[in-house]
C-alpha cells in the first residue's frame, strides 16, 4: 500500500481509479501504513486485493460478501470466508461446505482455499479488507466500507445477471446498492454457528445460483474444490 496505486487487476483499476485518487482513499493508505508500524495486519499487503486479481470485473458471475478478514495468524489471504491450504477451515466455512454437500451432494473438502471458485467468477470480498491480528472488526470505519460499497455499485452498474449471495444482516444491509431489475439476490442467515440453523442450512443457494446462471446463458460454477 505504499505505492501510488494498488496492484489491482486492470478492469477493476479502470472502473475504480477515481476511488484510488480520492481523499478518503489516500487517508486510508496513510492510516494503514501507520497501523503496520504498530500492529500485525492481515492479510499481507500483497494479498489485500486478491479477490479482485483472481476475479476481474469482466468475469464476475457471483458475489459473496463477508464482513472483515479472519484475524488469526495465517488465515486471511484476501478472499472472504477462504483460508490458505494447510489452515483448518473456520466454523462458518465448514458450515458452507456442509450446505454444499447437502445441496449438491459434493463431498466436504479438506482444504478451505476457495481460489478455484474465484477463478470461475465468484467474487469473494469482505466489506473491510484488512484487520489487526486478534482484533476482529478493528479496521471497520476507516474507509474500506466506502470503497467496497463502490465496488458493489460498480458491479451493479456495469454488469448484468450477477448473482449476489447475501448472508446475514450485515451483507443484506448492502441490498440498496444492487439494481435488482438486472441482477439476482439470494439472502439467508449467516453461516456462523450462531445463526446457521436459522435458515442457512437448507437455503440451497449454490444450486439456485447455478440455475440462475444457466437460465441467463452464463457458465455454472463448479463448487467442488477437490
- Is there a contact between 96 and 80 (Cβ–Cβ < 8 Å)? no
Which residue among 37, 68, 157, 222 is the active-site one?
A: 68
Give the H/E segment covering residue 51: helix 50-54
Q: Which burial class, exposed, middle or buried, applies to 49 when counting CB atoms under 10 A from its CB (0-12, 13-18, 19+)?
A: buried
Q: HSE on the CB side for 32, CA within 13 Å?
A: 26
Q: Which burial class, exposed, middle or buried, applies to 67 when counting CB atoms under 10 A from its CB (0-12, 13-18, 19+)?
A: middle
Q: 3-state DSSP call for residue 159?
A: coil
Rounded Cα distance, 131 and 150, in Å: 20
Kindly state the cell numbers that stand for 184. 439476482
- Is there a contact between 114 and 222 (Cβ–Cβ < 8 Å)? no
68 is catalytic: yes
Instruction: Name which of 81, 169, 60, 72 is nearest 123 in CA terms.
Output: 60
Catalytic residues: 68
Amino acid at each position: 500500500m505504499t505505492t501510488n496505486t494498488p496492484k489491482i487487476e486492470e478492469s477493476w483499476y479502470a472502473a475504480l481509479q477515481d476511488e484510488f485518487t480520492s481523499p478518503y482513499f489516500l487517508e486510508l493508505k496513510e492510516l494503514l501504513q501507520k497501523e503496520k508500524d504498530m500492529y500485525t495486519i492481515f492479510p499481507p499487503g500483497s494479498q489485500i486485493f486478491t479477490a479482485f486479481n483472481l476475479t476481474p470485473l469482466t468475469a464476475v458471475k457471483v458475489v459473496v460478501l463477508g464482513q472483515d478478514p479472519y484475524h488469526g495468524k495465517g488465515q486471511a489471504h484476501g478472499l472472504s470466508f477462504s483460508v490458505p491450504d494447510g489452515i483448518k477451515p473456520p466454523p462458518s466455512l465448514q458450515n458452507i461446505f456442509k450446505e454444499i454437500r447437502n445441496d449438491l451432494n459434493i463431498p466436504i473438502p479438506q482444504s478451505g482455499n476457495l481460489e478455484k471458485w474465484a477463478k470461475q467468477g465468484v467474487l469473494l470480498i469482505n466489506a473491510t479488507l484488512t484487520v489487526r491480528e486478534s482484533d476482529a472488526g478493528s479496521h471497520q470505519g476507516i474507509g474500506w466500507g466506502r470503497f467496497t460499497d463502490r465496488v458493489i455499485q460498480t458491479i451493479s452498474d456495469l454488469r448484468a445477471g450477477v448473482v449476489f449471495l447475501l448472508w446475514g444482516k450485515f451483507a443484506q444491509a448492502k441490498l440498496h446498492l444492487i439494481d435488482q431489475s438486472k441482477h439476482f439476490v439470494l439472502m439467508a442467515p449467516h453461516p456462523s454457528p450462531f445463526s446457521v440453523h436459522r435458515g442457512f442450512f437448507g437455503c440451497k443457494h449454490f444450486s439456485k445460483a447455478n440455475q440462475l446462471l444457466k437460465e441467463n446463458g452464463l457458465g455454472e460454477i463448479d463448487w467442488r474444490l477437490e
